[in-house]
Amino acid sequence: MTEETTEAIEPVEHVYAIHDGTELNAYVFFPREATSLATHDEDSQGSRREPGRARSAILLFHGGGWDTGSPEWGFGLARYLADLGMVAVAVQYRLSDPENGTVTPIEAMRDARAAVRWARSHSEELGVAPDRIAAYGWSAGAHLAASTAIFVDADEGEEVSCAPDALILKSPAVSLESDSWAKKLLGDRVDVAEISPDRNVRPGMPPTLLLQGRTDTVTPLKGTQAFHEAMLEAGNECELIVYDGVGHLLTPAGQPDDGWPKPDPEVATRARKAFDDFLRARGFISR
Q: What would the pLDDT profile of 59-71 be if each residue is shown by its tens digit?
A: 999 999 999 999 9
Helices 105-121/140-150 angle, 10° precision: 60
Task: Note the pLDDT of residue 37.
Answer: 47
Q: Which of 207, 91, 200, 224 is nearest to 150 (CA)?
A: 200
Model confidence at 224: pLDDT above 70 = yes
CA distance 171 to 138: 6
Q: What is each CA distance from 232 to 95, 189, 206, 207, in whole angstroms?
A: 32, 30, 12, 11
The pLDDT-based confidence of 49 (bands split at 50, 70, 90) is low
The pLDDT-based confidence of 3 (bands split at 50, 70, 90) is very low
The pLDDT-based confidence of 285 (bands split at 50, 70, 90) is very high
- Note the pTM of the prediction, 2 decimals: 0.93
Q: Could you give phi then psi for residue 72, rounded to 5 degrees? A: -60, -25
Average pLDDT, integer, range 93-122:
96
**49 vs 210 pLDDT, higher one:** 210
CA distance 284 to 287: 10
Model confidence at 245: pLDDT above 60 = yes
Model confidence at 172: pLDDT above 50 = yes
Average pLDDT along the chain: 92
Which option is the CATH number for 12-281: 3.40.710.10, 3.20.20.80, 3.40.50.1820, 3.40.50.150? Answer: 3.40.50.1820
Edge-to-edge order in the sheet of strand 128-138: 12-19, 22-29, 87-91, 55-61, 128-138, 166-170, 208-213, 238-243
